[in-house]
Structure 1
Amino acid sequence: MRLTDRRVLIGAGAIVVLAATATGIALTSKSDGEDPVAAPGTASAAPVPQRSAILPGRPGESARVVLPTPPSGGPGAPGASDPWNQADADFLRKMIPHHRQAVEISGLAATRAGNPRIVALADRIADTQTVEINAYRGWLTQRNLGEELPGHDHATMPGMQSPERIAELTAMSGDEFDRRFVEMMTDHHAGAIAMADEALRAGENPWVAQIATSVAHEQAVEIDRMSEIIVG
């Protein structure tokens, strides 16, 4: 996946839009009242009924990705008949425990971080990824698929942190916590980006492609944001 520009600039009255493409992520933009225009040289990997909009964050915060509306209802609901394969299902099954650990790590910041910007970012990560977990579960439930991936060791996923490292982080506070939090969450996010890239290459489902695109971009933006906080 090519993440050539992780920074998103949003001007007055404009929204930057993500679209899953055969080569990775395409960034397009539109002014209010206009239809988004596909980025030159990109080809859609699959029909995409909705895109994930990137909305500006509050001062000092990164932009916010609004997920495409998750599928709802049972097997006969709209979207339930869209093509999908094992790679789509496995991606969501892996991302549930991956996100769950990110929420756990983020929850430590409220009482341990020294920089209020770390606290704000951690709260945002926890809120966003909790919503995403519920959306992933909805997609799996709609297709009568279990949440667990049989025989899969969650600890082997890219970016997953060991219980020992989380225990070390839990014992830290102030600047020491902030730096270790950024180190661990950057590694964690990089793992999610790698899995999203794999899903975009191997999956078939349009909604899962949107989710993978959103995950890859959003977490790349957050990696840059964390680096700026520590360096700044």
Structure 2
Amino acid sequence: MRPTDRRVLIGAGAITALAIAVTGITFASTSDDDGPRAAPAASSAAPAPQRSAIQPGRPGESAQVVLPTPPPPGAEAPGATDPWNQADADFLRKMIPHHQQALEIAALAPGRAVNPQLAALAERVSDTQALELGSFRGWLRQHRLGEDLPGYDHATMPGMQSTERMAELAALSGDEFDRRFVEMMTDHHAGAITMANEALRGGENTWVLQTATSVAHEQGVEIDRMAAIIIG
């Protein structure tokens, strides 16, 4: 089976009217639920992929998709011997600075967020995306590729927040911080979903395609969660 036969574009799921109003973005979707539609079974001749797992959330929180644990130094990364193309590498190279900014946004929540559920979600974003960053970098190292994408302006990536907006968020607290945090993180997550769908259309590597699916699903769930927190 060709890799293109396994690609499934992931939407953000049942995103509320608030989330759509905040971002002004419509997501490509192949289903009406929060998760990816099942892909056709892989050919028996293909190597068995390492699958993501569903981890139950804390009480009152949604489950999240957890990427396979990054390999230890010197070990072969998942999908290391599978074919890959430039779209695979570019997706991971773009997602590294994208995730780094998400960590910066999440790091502002302690001491500023008034809603404990939002503070808990920010902590979850930090934990999850830090793990994913390790996976992205591990794959690039395994393929002897650097993290830089020459000539590409990362500030133009979907969902990236300007320096000015980051400074404005840092100056807020209480309810004002919570609303702005949800606005910015929703926009940021929507950008990650856009890039994940681009990878699913153009990528080839089994692990990268699974990673793009996991990222899109997980961040779509978190968009819904943030909207529900603000609506109350």
- Match for residue 66 of structure 1? 66
Q: Quick one: distance in 1 between partners of 2:180 and 2:70?
A: 34
Deviation sequence 1:178-231 (CA, Å, 0-9, x none): 000000000000000000000011000000011000000000000000000000
Residue pairs, 1:206-221, within 5 angstroms:
206-221=206-221
User: In the aligned structure 1, how far is the partner of 2:69 from the partner of 2:162?
Assistant: 33
Structure that is richer in strand per residue = 1
- Superposition deviation, residue 64 in structure 1: 2.2
Cα RMSD after superposing both structures:
2.3
- 2:155 aligned partner, one-letter code: A
Number of the residue aligned with 1:83:
83
SS at match of 1:54: strand
The 5 Å alignment of 1:123-202 reads: 123-202=123-202
TM-aligned CA deviation for residue 51 of structure 1 = 1.9
Q: Which runs of 5+ in 1 are unaligned?
A: 8-22, 28-38
Give 1:103's aligned amino acid.
Answer: L
Alignment of 1:43 with 2:28, yes or no, is no
Kindly indicate whether the alpha-carbon contact (under 8 Å) linking 1:51 and 1:68 is maintained by their aligned counterparts in 2.
Answer: yes
Tell me if the contact between 1:68 and 1:207 (Cα under 8 Å) persists in the aligned partners: no
Which one has more relative contact order, counting CA pairs under 8 Å at least 6 apart? 2
Distance 1:188 1:78 in 2: 27
**What CA distance in whole angstroms lies between the structure 1 residues aligned with 2:121 and 2:157?**
23
Evaluate the alpha carbon distance shift between residue 112 and residue 4 of structure 1 in structure 2; reply closer, same or farther with a 3 A threshold. Answer: closer
Which residue matches 2:22?
none
1:224 aligned partner, one-letter code: D
Q: After TM superposition, give the deviation of residue 66 of structure 1 in Å.
A: 1.6
Distance in structure 1 (CA, Å) of the matches to 2:81 and 2:150: 24
The one-letter amino acid paired with 1:3 is G
Quick one: distance in 1 between partners of 2:53 and 2:61? 16
Please, what TM-score do these two structures have when normalized by structure 1?
A: 0.81
Q: What percent identity do the matched residue pairs reach? A: 70
Aligned partners of 1:231 and 1:78: how far apart in 2? Answer: 40
Question: Which among 3, 27, 30 is matched to residue 11 of structure 2?
Answer: 3
Distance 2:166 2:76 in 1: 42
How many residue pairs were aligned?
204
Could you tell me the TM-score, scaled by structure 2's length? 0.81
Name stretches of at least 5 consecutive residues in structure 2 with no aligned partner.
1-8, 16-29
